[in-house]
Amino acid sequence: MGKLYPVGIQNFEKLRRDGYYYVDKTALMYRLVTTGSYYFLSRPRRFGKSLLISTLEAYFQGKKELFGGLAVHGLEKEWLEYPILHLDLNTQKYETPEALENVLDESLAYWETLYGRNENEIGQARRFAGVIRRAKEKTGRRVVILVDEYDKPMLQAIGNESLQDRYRSTLKAFYGALKSQDGYIKFAFLTGVTKFGKVSVFSDLNNLEDISRNPDYSDICGISEKELIDNFSEDIAELARANGQTYGQACAQLKEDYDGYHFCPDSAGIYNPFSLLNTFKSRRYGSYWFETGTPTYLVELLKRSDYNLERMTRVETSADILDSIFTDDNPIPVIYQSGYLTIKGYDREFGMYTLGFPNREVEDGFMNFLLPYYSGVDKTQSPFEIKQFVRDVRSGAIDSFMERLQSFLAGCPYELARDIELHYQNVLFIVFRLAGLYTKVEYHTSRGRIDLVLQTADYIYVMEFKLDGSAEEAIAQIEEKQYALPFASDPRKLFKIGVNFSSRTRNIEKWVVR
């Protein structure tokens, strides 16, 4: 019988009792609990945060039998049971102020059945503080607090400032109980996608250690290359056989598709665990992580900030920005924290990070997701339209692929056309970035024009786009600047294409081919 892959299994006890495969993270977990008390971890969704919380819960319940054969089994000697307050904010849709209050009330009511209630405690923050105190008094042991997806309410309220402020003030007061009851707490671990909390929700919790970019814990969630080879060599071999690949080719494709997450500078790449496990289970490569979530809040931020998408391929930013909450003029922090960009480099002298897409799955998924929001292409047709565009490019059908390009630019939503030039650059960037997954593309912009080189097995296209100029001027610029010179001795057929884009018609007006 092959491995049981824990796809979507977030409960450690179920995983262990039902025989699902587990990549052992318990040595790192043991280091956490023995070297500190209050932790915060930010990781993208589906990266194993909930399973880590559940593993900590089983450990603090003293369930030694679940850890047989794992690293912590030989490290922990006592296996004591502690009172645990586990708050999971991942289960609710947050659209009204009451939604968050209902979840907190439900958890408090359950804890109060275990540890008692004092009728004089009015308000959720005071009730929480009372529960912590009574849990310690009733059991004789200090309390363990585990919070899963602390930021879910705020993320779902992006774009609704008053609702977000309401959620923020509710949670700030609620988590304030952690500080007021410090003497009754043994351990607290909070997870989320973003770092709203660094500035606001946890501003009173100055003893909260953020391990999100700590190199000691870079692989506490996700799968490292060593873990991949140590745990899944047979699975890689089976995947290779199923896809007509060699073992080395399968390793290379897994790396290109799912590796590349860096949560601190100079760390080894981390593979997306959800996509890896799905790939092994189905023996088929796919966009598993991307398909499980629709980051509409990211598109809202990009649109509201009039963001130039080309900058996303190489973002330079500081640690302060990476750790900040989002703002309307800079969507990068939340895009990075959500896992659509990752650390690619670090300049120690200036303390600047370079960000980029982690891997092919994320880049392909994100660009395909953005295309319908920036163009007239229907959401269900986006990948099909791109593939048709690439087929036309590969076969040298210039008029056909230029007409398809016109269709991408048609039906531009009015609110996106305020800066028509930026919008036009963004659509072209998305289309050619997606085409670049199948062809070779060099894309350069400056205000007023774009030049582009597209290469396939048989053709080279040197293209110049003008805004409110003429297609003839664009061709003349290709000749004057000698854009085609690097390909002078190339045996492939070369086309020079001048294109004019009209802000009046909001589309490509004319193209000339030589």
Written as six digits, the tokens of 508 are 């490509």
> What's the pLDDT band for 164 if we cut at 50, 70, 90?
confident
Helix (H, G, I), strand (E, B) or coil at 318: strand
Mean pLDDT of 282-293: 90
What's the pLDDT tens digit per position in 363-381?
999 998 899 888 878 877 7
What mean pLDDT do residues 347-376 have?
A: 92
- pLDDT at position 418: 63
Q: For the chain, which domains are there?
A: 12-217 (3.40.50), 230-291 (no CATH), 296-360 (no CATH), 375-513 (no CATH)
pLDDT at 413 over 70: no
pLDDT of residue 319: 86
pTM, to two decimals: 0.91
Average pLDDT score over the chain: 91
pLDDT at 311: 87
Q: For 12-49, what is the HEC assignment?
A: HHHHHHCCCCCCCCHHHHHHHHHHCCEEEEECCCCCCH
The amino acid that residue 118 corresponds to is N
Token code pair at residue 231 = 């745990």
pLDDT digits (tens, 9 = 90+) for 171-230: 988 988 888 899 999 999 999 887 764 456 766 677 789 899 899 999 999 999 999 999
Integer angstrom CA distances of residue 99 from 125, 154, 173, 418, 501: 16, 12, 16, 36, 48
Residue with tokens 């958890």: 107
The model's confidence at residue 425, banded by pLDDT at 50, 70 and 90, is: confident
> What letter represents residue 2's amino acid?
G
Which residues are CB-neighbours of 454 under 8 A, at least 6 positions away? 393, 432, 435, 439, 440, 441, 460, 461, 463
Three-class DSSP labels, 38-91: EEEEECCCCCCHHHHHHHHHHHHCCCHHHHCCCHHHHHCCCCCCCCEEEEEHHH
Structural tokens at position 153 = 């309410």
Contacts of 257 (CB under 8 A, 6+ apart): 275, 279, 285, 359, 360, 361
pLDDT of residue 245: 98
| Beta-strand pair 507-513/185-192 | unpaired
What pLDDT shows up at residue 447?
Answer: 63
**For the segment 224-265, what is each residue's pLDDT rounded down to a tens digit?**
999 999 999 999 999 999 999 999 999 999 999 999 999 998
DSSP category for residue 330: B
Output the six-digit token pair for 475: 């061709």
Planar angle of CA 377, 159, 503, nearest 5 degrees: 40
Q: How far is CA 87 from CA 93, 145, 494, in A?
A: 15, 8, 62
